[in-house]
Structure 1
Amino acid sequence: MEAVPSSIAGAMLSSLFDYIFERLFASSEFLNFARLNKWKNLLPKIRAILDDAEDKQTVSRAVKLWLSDLKDIAYDAEDIIDEIATNALRRRILGETQMTGIGSKVCRFFPNCFTGLNLSSVKFSARMGSKIEDITVRFEGMVEIMNALNFFVRSGEGRLERVRYGLRSTSSLVDESRVYGLGMDKDEIFQRLMYVEIGEIGVVCVVGMGGMGKTTLAQLVYNDEKVENLFELRVWVCVSEDFDVVRVTKILLQSVTKEGCRHSQGDLNSLQLQLRDVLSGKKFLIVLDDVWNENYERWDVLLRPLLAGAAGSKVLVTTRSEGVAFIMSKCGGYHLQALSDDDCLSIFASHALGASNFDGHPTLKGVGEEIVKKCKGLPLAAKILGGLLRGKVNDDEWKNMLRRKIWDLLEERGGIIPALKLSYHHLPSHLKRCFAYCAILPKGYEFDKNELVLLWMAEGLIGQAPEEKQVWDKGLAYFHDLLSRCFFQRSNSNKTLFVMHDLINDLAQSVAGEICFHFEDNSGDKLPASIKKLRHLSFTRCQYDIFRRFEVFDRAKSLRTFIALPIDTSSSTASCYLSKDVLQELVAELRYLRVLCLNGYRINKLPNSIGHLEHLSEDATAYW
């Protein structure tokens, strides 16, 4: 059965459409192809309904398949745009080299590029015209199907993600008997709450990826007896994605006064005046749970009535974004770390067996320990997996769970997967494609940020700028933005390297669908359903790599990335061997290849045919 992309693949497709449309208007070389004008009419029509299609694919297989085919066409369209841009660059270089008298040297380097310029230009235009026409027909076919599927255009600036996931709601109540591993974190937060900041409201931010236990930690602190004695007033507000200052102010006022209906009306000014009067001179603790807002002005407005509180008043914030922490707190955030396997095991057991240990079911402990390792320290994952086994004490049922992918298991129950998907949906368009590209990295792979930025640059994911340093700086900014949003985390073994949590890696694979694939020796039965749709391929080097290992990818003619991992910039460590047939019969035929990384292999000479791969980027050649 053909694999169908997940319900979040459409979000990446939206960003791809935006990128294609931007390219069409960005350069004059596309004006020579009149057929592209049809794209300028077709693409906005399709782009306008992608939000609705993304929602409907959760209940309609027809919509899922439509989106899958559409993504394939969009990538083919991008390939054509790249060919046109590359040809324009080639002609520009030729014009410059002929003027400087070094054209013959350039022609020898690119043997097929510069002979018979006028004739080759005519042939190129004819070939591109045929390809553009083919893509246009395919786009028109997608529009016909689109009309039959009865999509509608979403109004307003983007959609509110709560339409799909529901506005998250939390309360201050917590079952402390099922909480493990947060004792030291709780003590640290309490110490920060005790610190009195003169003349301002102290803000403490807890930062961590979805499912890490931020809300649970805030609940523990909120209900601690010492905290109750420390503050005259305590208020809990679940903010979620909708940082509406009026809504949050109403909740604060209703919670403090215990008079819900009376304060349900009124404009922001009257609400804030009332809240200021109620809080005046009182020492309070306000918990703002699950904050996404990175708009300083909104935070500044919300803060104004809180300044009337007594010295020592505090606001405790939980968020997935370090950017939120920097906006709301001058001290930055407190980063919540993953739990130990032992603590996760206790959480898992409490939900699966109703006990904190396996004393009553010793035969299940070994399997339970292996299941918990999949959680990688994420308490919500341990809780959900434990809940799936609630009341089940048969060894076979536990072993069956162990054999399944953790992403599939968690997606069945909900909870953490929607939380992670929501983090992805909150990314700006340019970061969505960069993150999806990370699906080529295997689980647990430790990477250098400079390596990843170079790959993004080579793939054209950063965009263009007059100077290469500007592109590089933009790429670093992209990386740090994803890092601040907890998509990456520092490696525990080497603080100069980074890694993705396993579930974040699963998220990247879910987003990328069939376009990205990491190839292991033992993954022969897990190949993409459609090799032809594959665009980015990475693989773990073996001591001796022969052509047979890669033979199946001979059908992946649209590959843009061919990377051997781990990437190691030290050529002195090269100790593996790659069959020359892989280069001559596979790599040399990948005419859309942008990144070729074969570091770690003992390669003395590249075949001349590699020189025909005109899309290879300078940013990628650093790895050869």
Structure 2
Amino acid sequence: MSVFGEAALSAFLELLSAKLLDSVLNFVAGHRQLHHQLKLWQSILPEIKAVLNHAEEKQIKDEGVKNWLGDLQDLAYDVDDILDEFAYQELRLKLQKTQAQASSSKVRKLIPTCCTGGHFSPFSFMFNAKMISKIQAITDRLNSLNTRRSSLGFSEIMSQGVTSKGKKPRLQPTSLMDGAVEYIGRANEKQETLELLKSNNSDGVCVLSILGMGGMGKTTLAQLVYNDPSIKESFDHKSWVCVSDDFDAVNITKTILRSLDADSRDENDLNLLQVKLKEKLSGKRLLLVLDDIWNESYSDWNILRAPFGAGTKIIVTTRLQKVSSNVDSVKAFYLDKLSHHDCLSIFAQHALKARNFDGHLQFKEIGENIVRRCNGLPLAAKAIGSLLRTVKNHSEWEK
């Protein structure tokens, strides 16, 4: 497998993780066996993805690693096929439900009660009979790949690449300088966020939340707002903290303090840290971004926000509705999937350095097929487009 293959596989695994985390798991929540199997996929995929860079280096000299990567690629395609089947079945069942609701009551009365009770559905028939064996086979292959991963010498780097059991992995780290290309598809959300941040409401802390599944561009929207030139006039200080699964009030407060004063003394007492932070912010306006929050504890949030008062405005990005509710958001922006047209523009920007395929018609058809597989996720369109940026051969795009 080529170096390009490893990079593309990494982006592909990101896409699969996003699909699993936010849509498919919700769809199968009522089916315990399926839900358990897919939760296993969710935990194993990030562990495998974490070692891809190391595998890329080793596969040149190690035939076993090369074979492992080939098997992983085959499995990734099979996982994607299964997830697409779930998406199709979800849509089919929604249509059936709509049609059933439109049926006359007389027709419904002719259907035996055994077929209309709460435990009967086309979903249970379809997936009990047809899918569970396939899903179990994929789980077995995933477990086998994970076991082989350890035997190939990748275990020692796991602590650097994967969060501990039960914690949620980020799709990719935060970068405040990721603004080289035009942001597509969220112009209204950006403008409304800027207006709310610059408005003069001095009653207390103002919190805005940006919600959405993984890969929807929550962090990117926060970056654009954070780096917007007009923000400089409205705030004395800005601070950005990537929280992820480690919601530690001490470390978060330390990070904020260091952004205000690079010479601040290292301290581990939360009370002292918060007193110092409150003093630093007295009479000042602060824009704070807390990126990728997973912690659903209301009490933890109250402890963290204690030093902040009037003049502080906070942007929270999260995948969880409960987090948005806990932080008492003045406004919650829910980012849904982008249109095919917008995803195509993002892909073209990163793959071709262009807004569309007008000057690259030879790539248009295959490009549109690739973008359809991105399933409306801007991160996937960006990641795969970036991988193809230096690939000028049409046949390579089809691989």
Q: Pick the TM interval, shorter chain.
A: 0.5 to 0.7
Aligned ranges 1:485-496 → 2 under 5 Å: none
| Structure 2 equivalent of residue 284 of structure 1 | 286
Give the Å deviation of 1:210.
0.6
Q: For the residues of structure 1 that align with 2:170 and 2:319, how far apart are their CA atoms?
A: 18
Q: For the residues of structure 2 that align with 1:56 and 1:392, how far apart are their CA atoms?
A: 26
| One-letter identity of the residue aligned with 2:238 | R
Instruction: Quote the RMSD (CA, aligned, Å).
Output: 3.7
Q: For the residues of structure 2 that align with 1:287 and 1:334, how far apart are their CA atoms?
A: 15
* Kept after mapping to 2: 8 A contact 1:194/1:312: no
Q: For the residues of structure 1 that align with 2:247 and 2:370, how far apart are their CA atoms?
A: 37
Q: Partner of 2:390: helix, strand, or coil?
A: coil
Q: Do residues 171 (structure 1) and 170 (structure 2) align?
A: no
Change (3 A) 1:205 1:55: closer
| One-letter identity of the residue aligned with 1:272 | Q
Q: Do residues 187 (structure 1) and 196 (structure 2) align?
A: no
| One-letter identity of the residue aligned with 2:191 | D
Give the Å deviation of 1:253.
0.4
Q: Do residues 338 (structure 1) and 342 (structure 2) align?
A: no
Q: For the residues of structure 1 that align with 2:240 and 2:356, how far apart are their CA atoms?
A: 33
Q: Do residues 245 (structure 1) and 244 (structure 2) align?
A: no
Q: For the residues of structure 1 that align with 2:346 and 2:186, how far apart are their CA atoms?
A: 12
| Structure 1 equivalent of residue 239 of structure 2 | 235
| Structure 2 equivalent of residue 368 of structure 1 | 367
| One-letter identity of the residue aligned with 1:241 | D
Change (3 A) 1:338 1:165: closer
Give the Å deviation of 1:265.
2.4
Change (3 A) 1:235 1:345: same
The runs of at least 4 aligned residues of structure 1 exceeding 4 Å deviation read 6-9, 54-61, 161-168
| One-letter identity of the residue aligned with 1:238 | C
Q: Partner of 2:308: helix, strand, or coil?
A: helix
| One-letter identity of the residue aligned with 1:346 | S
Q: What per-residue deviation string (whole Å, max 9, x for no partner) do you get for residues 520-562 of structure 1?
A: xxxxxxxxxxxxxxxxxxxxxxxxxxxxxxxxxxxxxxxxxxx
Q: What per-residue deviation string (whole Å, max 9, x for no partner) do you get for residues 53-112 of structure 1?
A: x95999898xx9xxxxxxxxxxxxxxxxxxxxxxxxxxxxxxxxxxxxxxxxxxxxxxxx
Q: TM-score, normalised by structure 2?
A: 0.57
Q: Partner of 1:177: helix, strand, or coil?
A: coil
| Structure 1 equivalent of residue 396 of structure 2 | 397
Alignment size in residue pairs: 261
Give the Å deviation of 1:165.
5.0
Q: For the residues of structure 1 that align with 2:334 and 2:238, how far apart are their CA atoms?
A: 23
Q: For the residues of structure 1 that align with 2:332 and 2:283, how far apart are their CA atoms?
A: 27
| One-letter identity of the residue aligned with 2:304 | L
Identity among equivalent positions (%) equals 42
Q: For the residues of structure 1 that align with 2:368 and 2:284, how far apart are their CA atoms?
A: 48
Give the Å deviation of 1:216.
0.5
Q: Do residues 224 (structure 1) and 228 (structure 2) align?
A: yes
Q: For the residues of structure 1 that align with 2:185 and 2:364, how far apart are their CA atoms?
A: 19
| One-letter identity of the residue aligned with 1:180 | I
Aligned ranges 1:62-81 → 2 under 5 Å: none
Q: For the residues of structure 1 that align with 2:261 and 2:282, how far apart are their CA atoms?
A: 13
* Kept after mapping to 2: 8 A contact 1:322/1:333: no
Q: For the residues of structure 1 that align with 2:312 and 2:338, how far apart are their CA atoms?
A: 30
* Kept after mapping to 1: 8 A contact 2:167/2:245: no
| Structure 2 equivalent of residue 134 of structure 1 | none
Change (3 A) 1:248 1:226: same
Say which structure, 1 or 2, has more relative contact order (CA 8 Å, 6+ apart): 2
Could you tell me which of 300, 305, 329 is aligned with 2:307?
305
| Structure 2 equivalent of residue 201 of structure 1 | 205
* Kept after mapping to 1: 8 A contact 2:295/2:323: yes
| One-letter identity of the residue aligned with 2:260 | V
Q: For the residues of structure 1 that align with 2:249 and 2:313, how far apart are their CA atoms?
A: 18
| One-letter identity of the residue aligned with 1:337 | D
Aligned ranges 1:32-431 → 2 under 5 Å: 160-161=164-165, 169-259=173-263, 262-307=264-309, 311-331=310-330, 333-400=332-399
| Structure 2 equivalent of residue 38 of structure 1 | none
Q: Partner of 1:385: helix, strand, or coil?
A: helix
Change (3 A) 1:166 1:315: closer
* Kept after mapping to 2: 8 A contact 1:167/1:241: no
